[in-house]
Amino acid sequence: MFVRYRKIMHMKPFKFTFLLVLLASFTFISCDNEPLTGTFTDESGTESGTGSGSGNEVILQPFFAEIDLVEFSETSLEAIIFNNKLWVRAVDADTNKITIGMPEDVAVGTFDIDQTDYTGVFEDNLAPDTYFTRANSGSITILTHDTVAKTITGTFNFIATPTGVVAPQFQITDGEFNVSY
């Protein structure tokens, strides 16, 4: 009887050690870099993406742009369909405006600004004379466009001058939008 009791006592520490090692191995083997899937909500309660897990998603701000390397801080933003065009317009506190126009059924891709289908406009209300400038070069890149959900994301950049003159020039760079219309 004494021998049998002694064998059982030696087995318990072995089983306990085995379980401890097994538990520790799961901790080290678990994948903390697995891609996440689903829709995620930030601290403000805004959903920030589909989280498909590819790690390549670009989450754009609702609107961002720089004018001559100075950040344009919009106070209002709208996206509407008017005359078969989709317009995205941002206005800052000084009522300066940046407006991007494209066909309402625009597909994913990069498009040169052409004054007809793809347009960029900057209205500067701080200059001694108000300047209404149109893009004479640049591009608009559409990253996503869901015509059913009526959402669109993209980037843009352009150089704009008043019609018929060469100065002043305004360089609109690092533009991005992520809007519903």
pLDDT in tens, 54-112: 445 556 789 999 999 999 999 999 999 999 999 999 999 999 999 999 999 999 999 99
Domain limits for position 109: 63-180
Considering its fold, how many domains does the chain have in total? 2
| Proportion of the chain in helix, strand, coil states, percent, rounded to 5 | 15, 45, 40
The first and second tokens of residue 175, run together, are 């533009």
- Sorting pLDDT into bands at 50, 70 and 90, what band is 162? confident
Q: How far apart are CA 174 and CA 157, in angstroms?
A: 6
Would you state the pLDDT for residue 23? 45
Q: How far apart are CA 59 and CA 48, in angstroms?
A: 7
Query: Is 49 a member of any domain?
Result: no
| DSSP H or E stretch at residue 7 | helix 2-29
Q: How far apart are CA 122 and CA 112, in angstroms?
A: 17
Average pLDDT over the chain, rounded to an integer: 78
Query: Is 161 a member of any domain?
Result: yes
In the chain, how long is the greatest CA-to-CA distance? 108
- Looking at the structure, do residues 18 and 97 belong to the same domain, yes or no? no
Cα distance between the two ends of the chain: 83
- Looking at the structure, do residues 73 and 7 belong to the same domain, yes or no? no
Would you state the pLDDT for residue 39? 44
